[in-house]
Structure 1
Amino acid sequence: MIQLLELKERIKQFYTKYERFITPAVKFLLAFVALMTINANVGFMSRLNSIFIVLVLSLICAFLPYGGITFVMMAVVLAHFTALSLEVAVTALALFIVAALLYYMFLPGDSILLILTPLLFFLKVPYIVPVAAGLLCGITSAIPLAFGVVIYYIMHFVKDSAGILADTGSLTMLQRYTQLINFIKDNDQMLLMIIAFVATMLVVYCIRRLSVDHSWEIAIITGLVVNIMLLLAGVFVLDIDTATFSIAAILAQSFLSGLLAFVLQFFFFSVDYSRTEYTQFEDDEYYYYVKAVPKNTVTAQDVQVKQINPKNARGQKEE
């Protein structure tokens, strides 16, 4: 445990020292992975699939706030949809406008969930998103979280139905609009995922704020259990095809998400409950009861090796 805490302190010191370089690098990597994922799944505009364009856009995103990165990703998705079908692009644009109108309710940085949610769906670890949002974000993060789920399912639908949507001869414009709207309105699997994600995030958020020992650990485990139970119940109640919504995948991905959540807990909320202290004081109007829980911290060892010249050492002895 001491070695892990020392490693954590070294990482924190390294980040503090080189923050102005690390933050743009992280944004660049996030944008690059997101763009490559978008191109791999809905890359209908060949020009945007160029690695040169991806690198240039990622470099631009490295110096933008997370809200700006979200805007760039939305623009790229819309460009790909436009290359496939104007109706798809208009429907997605309407969704993005609604998300933008609600943006003022997001806490700073929460808009990143619009990128991370579909990205981690494609990377097969989606259930870390509601747990991490509950641990690190505010309650309003439920909004971008829900929209992130919708964006993923629209991208997935467009990917699977690209042939039909691109064929202007098989469907009229009105039929394509109707097909897209019906998909959003009648997709039980998407609705179930939104409910499970928002409920999980709220459960984690409420529990981790409680003044009880090991609140973060309890929040992580409880949140994942709630998520699994809601998804399994929804599969049977809504009669969702288990071939496309695998129970084994839910359990495996939940386990992996739990491991990642405990890594986050170690870096953001590592405390020593054995040294908890309680105190109370008062002023003219209130009594105050305070619970103080110290953080798990150690001072990273600074090992210095002093080089001794053997010849000089012998010369000093002879003198």
Structure 2
Amino acid sequence: MKTLLKIRAIFISIYKNNEVLTNMLLKFILTFISIFSIDSVTNISSTMLVLIIAVSFSLVSIILSVDIILICLMMLILFIISKAGLVLTSIVGAIFIMSYVLYIRLFSKEVILIFFTMLLIPSGAVYLVPLVGALFFGFGASGAIAVGYVFYNIFIQLNTLMSQDLSAFTVPNIYLIVSTFLENTIYNEKMLVSIAILTIVFLVVYLIRILSIAYAPYVAIFFGSIINIFGFLLAQMLINLDLNIIVIVSATISCALIAFFVSFMSRVLDYTKTQVVQFEDETNYYFVKVIPKIETSSKANQLQQAYMPLQMDINNTNKEL
């Protein structure tokens, strides 16, 4: 166990010493992957041009905050779909503005969970978002899951809508776009159930994590994983959704293991083990917090006899005197 604690301390020390570079690299990777995901749906241009755009935009993103990066990507999407007509651009732009006003501007730090939600949905690893996100963010971060799902389900419909002739500003075109978005968001039972279950998982993990109990983060991840599995199992039984329970269980277990690892590596000490000693005298109250160390070691002190010849000369001089 001490070996694991030492390894963890080394990794945390490396991260703290290179925190700025690590965060910049993370933003570069997120932006790079996001642009290629946008290209996979909208077909921006040739692969070489997309690569140049992705690298250039990603380099700029390393000095930007995550919420500004998301806003820039929104503007990029609007610019790309503008060739499909004013109707589609206006409706998507209205959705982006509404999302910014209602959530993004209020929870700018939690925007990174929107990125992870959108990127992890296709791989089935989206269960990692509530299990890990609740360990580092507060109650408001649960809304990032809903925003990420809405953005993803709108995003995957853009290719179909852009392939149709919707340039004319007519009622049928507006109805087609709005109905397509509504069918894949508000009227999409699978998406609504997923948002509800993952939000509950997030809240459970968060509420257990903030408790003053031993190993609270690990207990929170365990119960969150159980609720995630039983939540989707109950949805399959009651609503009869097209869900693969075996895949959900295996993905949840894998995400839980990753969450355990992240929780372990992100904490230097288990501060739930701290003890507060309180006592008083005639004039003061005293509060002493006792925190256990990972390892205590004592090094033997060696006495160097570098000045022994000088000491001997002094003794000889004294004898002569």
CA distance in 2, matches of 1:199, 1:85: 39
Instruction: Give how far 1:38 is off.
Output: 2.9
SS of equivalent residue, structure 1 residue 16:
helix
SS at match of 1:186: coil
**Given residue 191 of structure 2, which amino acid in structure 1 is its aligned partner?**
M
Match of 1:254 in 2: 252
Structure-2 change in CA distance of 1:201 and 1:16 (3 Å): same
Shift of 1:154: 2.1
Maintained 8 Å contact 1:207/1:219 = yes
CA contact (8 A) 2:274 2:291 kept: yes
Q: Deviations over 1:48-106 (max 9, x none)?
A: 96100010111111111111122123233334444556544433322221221123431
* Residue of structure 1 in register with 2:163 after alignment: 166
Whole-angstrom CA distance in 2 between matches of 1:274 and 1:180: 47
Asked whether 1:207 is paired with 2:204, we answer no
Structure 1 residue 292: Cα displacement: 6.0
Structure 1 pair 16/133, CA: closer, same or farther in 2 (3 Å)?
A: closer
Q: What amino acid does structure 2 have at the position aligned with 1:100?
A: Y
Aligned partners of 1:224, 1:263: CA distance in 2, in Å? 14
CA contact (8 A) 2:8 2:265 kept: yes
- Aligned mates of 2:272, 2:165 — CA distance in 1: 68
Q: Deviations over 1:27-51 (max 9, x none)?
A: 11221122223323x1332269610
**Counterpart AA for 1:168:** D
Residue type at the aligned position of 1:230: G
Give the deviation of 1:262 after TM superposition. Answer: 0.6
Unaligned runs of 5+ in 2: 167-171, 298-321
Please, what is the CA RMSD of the aligned residues?
3.1
Query: Equivalents in 1 of 2:63, 2:188: separation in Å?
Result: 37
Q: 1:62 & 1:98 partners in 2: Cα distance?
A: 26
Where do 1:51-66 residues align within 5 Å?
51-66=51-66
Question: By how many angstroms is 1:276 displaced?
Answer: 4.8
CA distance in 2, matches of 1:280, 1:166: 71
Partner in structure 2 of residue 130 of structure 1: 130
Structure 1 portions without partners, runs of 5+: 300-319
1:73 to 2:70 alignment: no
Distance 1:139 1:58 in 2: 30
Displacement of 1:137 in angstroms is 0.1
Aligned to 1:10: 10
For the residue of structure 2 that corresponds to 1:97, the secondary structure is helix
> 1:232 maps to what in 2?
233
Give the Cα separation in 2 of the matches to 1:101 and 1:78: 17
Give the Cα separation in 2 of the matches to 1:290 and 1:96.
51
Q: Secondary structure at the match of 2:156?
A: helix
Instruction: Select the structure of larger CA radius of gyration.
Output: 2
The 1-side partners of 2:286 and 2:212 are apart by 14
Cα distance 1:133–1:290, how it changes in 2: closer, same or farther (>3 A)? farther
Structure-2 separation of matches of 1:60 and 1:295: 42
CA displacement at 1:135 relative to structure 2: 0.9
Contact 2:5 2:294 in 1 (8 A): yes
SS of corresponding position for 1:73: helix
What per-residue deviation string (whole Å, max 9, x for no partner) do you get for residues 85-137 of structure 1? 6544433322221221123431x521111211101113331100011121110
TM-score (norm 1): 0.78
Instruction: Give, in angstroms, the shift of residue 298 of structure 1.
Output: 8.3
